[in-house]
Each structure stands twice: as structure tokens, then as C-alpha cells.
């Protein structure tokens, strides 16, 4: 497979997103809509709804819902540009006794109630929040990474996707693990700051720094500007060819 740093049209020079320069907000990127997909990770009722299992066991979820507007805006933007939207959902299968059979060591230790209930396939709790809207594709995962033992990579290859935009919950766990696995597989990765949600602001910042090192971490405004820059460059190129 060719090195995406050379083959993917969406990367130029790699200027820091923090450098404000020109009308594209300092991000000298060109994101080709035909080669990118949006991942929306774990924005499920049991994780973030006030009536979900996490809230019932005392996890504060009220503040997170304000950030959903950014995910909705990002999803709407991707629909406008024809970018495929993939929902990645965490599910837990029960054994014969009704206990979580595939929960894994991390989840069973950090969230022991998931052994008893929550995120079961086909339940309301496992469904994505209604605000998020409908995806083009849906992937079910059983561990932190959306790539681990799922058909996500084969789907992306079939779609000819070379880059991924990341949103979802939680930034420092499932989002970052999936981001890392995407980079390992030579996908160009873009974390969209406002559309990623974490319990801890410090962990959010740490994940954003990690993403900026491994790939890119940009604002929603910067992401949209890069899409428009690509479109403008393509139009100019066609005019030059005709002329």
C-alpha cells in the first residue's frame, strides 16, 4: 500500500492548527470528501442519556449533552459533502446466566455494573442517541477500539476511504484507541475537537495532544474550511485544464 502521506490528497505541509494564518485558519490541509469518512463512536443511550445505565449508577452525564450539538453539526456537514457516516457502537453479549460474556477485563473492573446490565444488543440502551441521526453504516464493537475484531477496516477499504474524521465518547478511551489503530493502519486521522467528549477536561487535552502528534486535531471550523479549500482548488484546476 502506498504511503498515505504522499498518496492522500488531503494533506499539505502539516502546519500547526494553532497558527492563525489566512482565511483557512492556519490549517494548510486539503480534505478530499471522496476519500474521507466520519466515525461517530459510542454516543449511546446507556453511556450518555439521563435514563441510561451509566446515569443510573451515578455517572454525571448532563453536561455532555450540550456537546452533542457539535456532533450534529459535524454530521450534517458531512452529509452535505457526501461524506459517509459510520456509527461505531459498543455492545455486550450475555452468557447463559445473563451476565456480560464479552465485557473484557477493563470494563468489568472500571464499570462492574455492565456485567449485570447495559449496552445489550437490540436494547434501547445500546442504540445511539436520537439527536445523532441515522448513519450510512453501523459497526458493533466489543472492546475500546472500533477496529478490534470488527469489519470496520474492510468496510473502509471497500469504500476507498483513506482518511477518517473522529467524533464521539469518550475521547481518551474508545475514540483515542480507535484513532491510534487507524494511524497504525495508515489512515490519515483527524480528531474534531468540539465533537469529542470526555469525562475529564485534562484527559481530553492530553488526547488532543496525542492526536495532533499521530495525525491531526482540528476544530470543526477548520475541518469545514479544509473541505472548502479542496473544493476551491479542484474548481481552479478544472478551469486551468479547460483554459
DSSP 30-91: ---GGGEEEEEE--BHHHHSTTSHHHHTT---GGGGGGHHHHHHHHHHHHHTT--EEEEEE-
Mean residue pLDDT across the chain: 86
Q: Which of 92-101, 137-146, 164-173, 184-193 has the lowest mean pLDDT?
A: 92-101
Q: What is the structure's pLDDT at 69?
A: 94
Residue 127 lies in a domain: yes
Segment 17-64, tens digit of pLDDT: 333 333 333 445 678 889 999 999 999 999 999 999 999 999 888 778
> Which residues have CB under 8 Å from 169's CB, separation 6+?
41, 42, 43, 47, 48, 64, 175, 196, 197, 198
Residue 188 lies in a domain: yes
Express as a percent the part of the chain with pLDDT over 90: 69
Average pLDDT on 67-74 reads: 94
Residue 173 lies in a domain: yes
pLDDT-based confidence at residue 203 (cuts at 50, 70, 90): very high
CA-CA distances (angstroms) from residue 47 to 66, 87, 192? Answer: 14, 14, 20
Express as a percent the part of the chain with pLDDT over 70: 83
Average pLDDT on 68-76 reads: 96
Residue 3 lies in a domain: no
Boundaries of domain holding 127 = 9-242
Question: Which has more pLDDT, 178 or 199?
Answer: 178
Residue 170 lies in a domain: yes
Residue 2 lies in a domain: no
| Residue 237 phi, psi (nearest 5) | -65, -40
| Residue 189 phi, psi (nearest 5) | -120, 135
Q: What is the structure's pLDDT at 81?
A: 95
Whether the predicted pLDDT of 215 surpasses 90: yes
d(CA 152, CA 167): 16
Which 3-state string (H, E, C) describes 93-117? Answer: CECCCCCECCCHHHHHHHCHHHHCC
Residue 4 lies in a domain: no
Contact status, residue 120 vs residue 94, Cβ threshold 8 Å: yes
Pairing of the two strands 137-141 and 163-169 = unpaired
Q: Model pTM?
A: 0.86
Contact status, residue 201 vs residue 171, Cβ threshold 8 Å: no
Q: What is the structure's pLDDT at 237?
A: 64
Angle at which helices 68-80 and 220-242 pack, to 10 degrees? 10
Angle CA 99–135–152, to nearest 5: 65
Residue 105 lies in a domain: yes
Question: Which has more pLDDT, 1 or 112?
Answer: 112
Q: How many structural domains does the chain have? A: 1
Whether the predicted pLDDT of 204 surpasses 80: yes
Which CATH number covers residue 214? 3.40.50.850
Amino acid at each position: 500500500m502506498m504511503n498515505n502521506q504522499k498518496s492522500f490528497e488531503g494533506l499539505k505541509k502539516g502546519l500547526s492548527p494553532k497558527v492563525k494564518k489566512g482565511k483557512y485558519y492556519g490549517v494548510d490541509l486539503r480534505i478530499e470528501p471522496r476519500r474521507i469518512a466520519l466515525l461517530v463512536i459510542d454516543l449511546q443511550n446507556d453511556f450518555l442519556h439521563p435514563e441510561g445505565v451509566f446515569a443510573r449508577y451515578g455517572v454525571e452525564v448532563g453536561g455532555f449533552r450540550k456537546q452533542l450539538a457539535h456532533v450534529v453539526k459535524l454530521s450534517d456537514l458531512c452529509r452535505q459533502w457526501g461524506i459517509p457516516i459510520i456509527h461505531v457502537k459498543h455492545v455486550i453479549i450475555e452468557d447463559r446466566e445473563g451476565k456480560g460474556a464479552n465485557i473484557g477485563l477493563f470494563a468489568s473492573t472500571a464499570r462492574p455494573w455492565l456485567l449485570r446490565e447495559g449496552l445489550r444488543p437490540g436494547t434501547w440502551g445500546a442504540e445511539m442517541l436520537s439527536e445523532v441521526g441515522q448513519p450510512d453504516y453501523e459497526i458493533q464493537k466489543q472492546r475500546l477500539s472500533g477496529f478490534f475484531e470488527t469489519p470496520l477496516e474492510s468496510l473502509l477499504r471497500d469504500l476507498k476511504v483513506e482518511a477518517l474524521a473522529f467524533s464521539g465518547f469518550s475521547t481518551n478511551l474508545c475514540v483515542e484507541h480507535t484513532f491510534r489503530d487507524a494511524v497504525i493502519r495508515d489512515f490519515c486521522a483527524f480528531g474534531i475537537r468540539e465533537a469529542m467528549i470526555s469525562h475529564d477536561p485534562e484527559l481530553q487535552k492530553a488526547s488532543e495532544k496525542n492526536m495532533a502528534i499521530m495525525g491531526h486535531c482540528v476544530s470543526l471550523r477548520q475541518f469545514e474550511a479544509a473541505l472548502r479549500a479542496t473544493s476551491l482548488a479542484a474548481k481552479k484546476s478544472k478551469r486551468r485544464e479547460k483554459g
